[in-house]
Chains A and B, each alone.
Chain A
Amino acid sequence: MADNRDVVETMLVFARTLRVAGLEAGPDRVQAMVAALGELDVMEPSEVYWAGRFTLCAGPDDLERYDAAFNAFFGGETPRPGGRAPRQERVVQSAPLDLDPSGSGAVPEDQTLEEHAMASGGEVLRHRDIAQLSPAEREQLRLLFGLLSVRPPTRPSRRHTRSHRGPVDVPRTVRRVLRNGGEIRRLARHKQRTKPRRLVLLIDVSGSMGPYADAILRFGHVAVRRAPASTEVFTVGTRLTRVTRELRQRDPDRALAASGAAIPDWSGGTRLGEVLKAFLDRWGQRGTARRAIVVIFSDGWERGDCALLGEQMLRLSRLAHAVIWVNPHKGRAGYEPLTGGMQAALPHVSRFVAGHSLAAFQELVKEMADA
């Protein structure tokens, strides 16, 4: 076949287009695609479409990008089967913000973060409100954050481990008996092992949380580094962003920069209810939140529907093992959870803690381990 080479070349260029579009499309995947095409009719656009889709995509998030790239590259209609629209269309898209730039209407008196409280000289850095630190002090605190020892919470596993006490381990006892020619010398015993419990951090990155976002993300980095397989971090604002992968890097500053680049809605508004729903639909219900410890870092400033937030918090509390709500403002004297979002969420929260200083974060670590 004379045009065989042309086909392979065309597909290689197509694969490059896909990589630009954000798909992984590594060499082994491309090889698989060419092999798949070998089994199908190259002249049939729909068969080319499917061959590429089966081999180059790795998840529902990839499908939309693949379809767009395929359309752009081959200029045809994609033979997308009927039925329900793809899942990603249900995700909250970055909607236009109704943010008031002056912030005068939205932020009430007791929430003004610019308010400069006089810092008494004798206070230890640990107990200072992060929002009120000078840049130099913040730098110092950054180092202290690295020393936080996050103990991942545990849960009993289905598996067993050898032990001197506990129930009799029948298979191992029998194996020993076999080895000793049928003589029972000693009973082997075992006990249940423990596994790290899944930990999910949902971090509000809206404007009102601005002064704390850096510290909280640092906390997220420490948590992810401690138990990378069982920790998930998402940021919440006007949309849901998963930053777990970015935070897995060893260097905290690099990890923070990477996750900062991944978050499209820094310092925007908050639609906690909608985004929480997106989280539960896409991740939580499927398993990420099941029997997990979910920690929400937010001041509860909801711009959307508070009833929706309450509904979703109820859903979350049914799935999760424990829901901890961390509100930096709780650390202030005289704080009362009066905001609509807080009011709606509190009935479904197992613990409500402060998160304004390093000491408060240490407290949080303890709460997480005991939850």
Chain B
Amino acid sequence: MTQFPDSLSDLPPAERFTGPADLADALSRTGYLADEGLATAAYLALRMQRPLFLEGDAGVGKTALAQAMAEVTGAHFVRMQCYEGLEASQALYDWDFPRQMLHLRAAEAAGVHDAEELERGLYDRRFLLARPLLAAIEQSPSVLLVDEIDRADDEFEAFLLEILSDNAVTIPELGRIVADIPPLVVLTSNRTREVHDALKRRCLYHWVEHPSYEREVAILRTRLPQITAKLAEDVARATGKLRSLDLVKPPGVAEAMDWATALHVLGARELDPDRAAATLGAVLKYREDADRLHSMTLTAMFGT
């Protein structure tokens, strides 16, 4: 597949991969190691042009998948972080009022008095600020990441649903803007709120799990080539053990990477109890969790 990169990149993203395994290969070349389920989900999302709805614990690589997908499909990456009170003017587009004002004053000074012409000049594309949704539709192909959709309000969900099903935006003053190739949409949720069923029904749903030991070692070695193989194995094993402890916040892959980096910076070539205790703040983010671990002996956890 790699010998014809030019002819391949001419194809629309959906037809560039022969199957889930092929997509997983391409993803792994960008440094993202997807398991079978995730690769299949991403492949289907591309082929069926359906949004991908990802749920799972924090730090399992939901956001990173969207970035990796943009990289393998050669698409623009557009991210929209959701929050409470997110409005259409922040998600879709907004008119640049100050610049319009300047334009108006400038036109008046230049002696333009034709109201019709003034107005046409005022609502020009150059005064339109494209927010993430419009940007994703304009710059196709693109990957649109709608991060933490559960944080936005219900009304925003309905609005998003409308845009996603049309792949087009209508701006009263300008007209309709349609995407040449519909963007690949990845929605993530941390389940702080149950997302409406109508939105979920239109998506492919996938629950992202923590990686297995082997996969985690592979991820650590790919992402952090500077660390030793022994350190990667030790960190993956210890993180796996921590996840089984019933903690307030079980560490994700992101935490495992932070931890391995911290240990490497301290010059560790393998995990030993002293260094583990000193760097524990990189994996355990709650005092209760740290206390819990201290109550068990550290050597029992990390000893060889």
Where the two chains meet, the residues of A that have a C-beta atom closer than 8 Å to any C-beta of B are: 24, 26, 28-29, 32, 35-36, 39-41, 46-47, 50-51, 53-55, 57-60, 63, 79, 81-84, 86, 90, 157-159, 171, 174-175, 177-178, 181-182, 229, 285-288, 290, 311, 315
Contacts and interface: CB of A to CB of B under 8 A. Distances in A.
Contact of A82 (B98, B213, B246): B213
Interface string B139-181: 0000000000010001000000000000000000000000000
Contact of B206 (A54, A178, A182): A54
B192 A178 contact: no
Given A47-B40, A158-B84, A178-B97, A59 B55 contact: yes
A83 B190 contact: no
Interface of B: 19-20, 35-37, 40-41, 43-44, 47-48, 50, 55, 83-85, 87, 97-98, 100-101, 104-105, 108, 122, 150, 154, 190-194, 197, 200-201, 204-207, 209-215, 243-244, 246, 248, 250, 288
Which 6 pairs between the two chains have the least Cβ-Cβ distance? A287-B192, A82-B212, A158-B85, A54-B204, A174-B97, A83-B210
Majority DSSP secondary structure for residues of A touching B = helix
Nearest to B207: A60
Nearest to A289: B192
Contact of B48 (A28, A39, A159, A287): A39
6 contacts: A28-B201, A79-B36, A82-B215, A158-B85, A182-B104, A287-B192
B190 A286 contact: yes
B210 A84 contact: yes
B36 A54 contact: no
Contacts of B43: 39
Nearest to A290: B192
A175 B97 contact: yes
B266 to A, nearest CB: 28
Nearest to A26: B201
B48 A50 contact: no
A337 to B, nearest CB: 25
A174 B95 CA distance: 11
B36 A46 contact: yes
Given A178-B101, A229-B154, A287-B190, A84 B243 contact: yes
Contacts of A47: 20, 40
A82 B213 CA distance: 8
B101 A182 contact: yes
Given A40-B40, A54-B41, A54-B206, A84 B250 contact: yes
Contact of A81 (B85, B191, B212): B212
Given A36-B44, A40-B44, A84-B244, A63 B192 contact: no
Given A59-B205, A82-B209, 12 more contacts: A39-B47, A40-B20, A41-B19, A51-B44, A59-B55, A59-B191, A82-B212, A82-B214, A83-B212, A157-B84, A174-B101, A178-B97
Nearest to A79: B36
B14 to A, nearest CB: 10
Nearest to B108: A182
B201 A39 contact: no
A112 B177 CA distance: 71
B244 to A, nearest CB: 7
Contacts of A54: 40-41, 44, 204-206
Contacts of A59: 55, 191, 194, 205
Nearest to B100: A178
Nearest to B50: A32
A40 B243 CA distance: 33
Contact of A287 (B193, B210, B246): B193
A290 B150 CA distance: 13
Contacts of A90: 246
